[in-house]
Chains A and B, each alone.
Chain A
Amino acid sequence: MLSLRGITKTFPGVLANDHVTLEVRSGEVHALLGENGAGKTTLMSILYGIHQPDAGEIRLRGRRVHIRSPRDAIGLGIGMVPQHFLLIRRHTVAENIALGLPGERFVRPARRIEPRVRELGARYGLAVDPRAAIWQLSPSEQQRVEILKALIRGAQALILDEPTSVLTPQEVRGLFDVLRRMKQEGHAVIFISHKLDEVTEIADRVTVLRRGRVVATLPIAETDKRSLARLMVGRDVEFQVRKAPRTPDGDALVADNLVVLSDRGLPALRGISFSVRRGEILGIAGIAGNGQRELVEVITGLRPARSGRVRLLDHEVTNLSARALHEAGVAHIPEDRMLMGIVPAMSVAENLVLKQYRYPPFSRGPVIDRQAIAQFARRMIAEYEIVTPGSDVPARLLSGGNIQKLILSRELSGRPEVIVASHPTAGLDVSATEQIHTVLLQRRQRGAAILLVSEDLDEILALADRIGVLFSGEIVGIVSGAEADRERLGLMMTGQRV
Chain B
Amino acid sequence: MRRLGPWQIDRDPAPRGWWVLVVSLGAIASAFLAAGALFWAFGIGPARAYSTIFLGTLGDARAAPEVLRQAIPLLLCGVGLVMAFRAQFWNIGAEGQLLAGAVAAAGVALFAPLPAPLVVPAMFAAGFAAGALWGLLPTLLRLKLDVNEVLSTLMMNYIALFFVEWLIHGPWKGQEQRGFAYTDTLPPAAWLPLLPGTRVHWVTLALGLALAGGLAFLLARTKLGFEIRVLGQNPTASRYAGINPLRTTLVAMLISAGAAGLAGVGEVAGIHHRLLAPDQISLGYGYAAIIVAWLARGSPLAAVLTALFLGLIFSSGDVMKVTLQMPFRVTDIFNGLILFFLIGSERLLTYRLRRVPRPAPHATAVSPGPERQTGAGIPEETGVAESK
Contact = CB atoms under 8 A, between A and B. Distances in A.
Nearest to B224: A366
A18 B365 contact: yes
- Residue among B12, B223, B239, B380 with the highest chain A CB neighbour number at 10 A: B223
A343 interface: yes
Nearest to A366: B222
B90 interface: no
Nearest to B222: A366
Interface residues of A, number: 47
Interface stretch (B115-123, B186-194, B371-379): B371-379
Contacts of A301: 242
Interface string B332-365: 0000000000000000000010000000011011
A393 B373 contact: yes
B372 A368 contact: no
A54 B240 contact: no
A400 interface: no
A332 B352 CA distance: 37
Contact of A322 (B222, B239, B364): B239
A420 to B, nearest CB: 12
B236 A368 contact: no
A107 interface: no
Contacts, number: 124
Contact of B376 (A11, A345, A367, A394): A394
A300 B13 CA distance: 32
A334 B365 contact: no
Interface string A339-381: 1111111110010001101100001001110100000000000
Contacts of A302: 239-240
B236 A339 contact: yes
A366 B375 CA distance: 32
Contacts of B112: none
Given A13-B371, A345-B380, A357 B240 contact: no
A321 interface: yes
B309 interface: no
B159 interface: no
Given A14-B372, A357-B226, A367-B221, A8 B240 contact: no
Contacts of B241: 322-323, 354-355
Contact of B237 (A12, A341, A358): A341
Contact of A343 (B10, B230, B367, B375): B230
B69 interface: no
Contacts of A392: 379
Contacts of A370: 221
A55 interface: yes
Contacts of A62: none
A346 B13 contact: no
Interface string A300-326: 111000000000000000000111101
Given A10-B364, A322-B242, A355-B241, A363 B14 contact: no
Interface in B59-103: none
Contacts of A366: 222-224
Contacts of A350: 226, 379
Given A14-B372, A343-B234, A343-B237, A393 B361 contact: no
Contact of A54 (B13, B239, B361, B379): B361
B371 A12 contact: yes
B379 A393 contact: yes
Contacts of B365: 8, 10, 15, 18
B229 A368 contact: no
Contact of A8 (B13, B362, B378): B362
B10 to A, nearest CB: 4
Interface string B1-37: 0000000001111100000000000000000000000
A102 interface: no
Interface string B204-226: 00000000000000000111111
Contacts of A363: 222-223
A236 to B, nearest CB: 24
Interface string B226-262: 1001100110110111110000000000000000000
Given A15-B365, A370-B221, 9 more contacts: A54-B364, A55-B362, A324-B242, A340-B240, A341-B237, A341-B240, A354-B241, A366-B222, A394-B378
Interface of B: 10-14, 221-226, 229-230, 233-234, 236-237, 239-243, 352, 361-362, 364-368, 371-373, 375-381
12 contacts: A13-B371, A14-B372, A55-B361, A55-B362, A302-B239, A302-B240, A340-B236, A341-B237, A350-B379, A355-B241, A368-B223, A397-B375
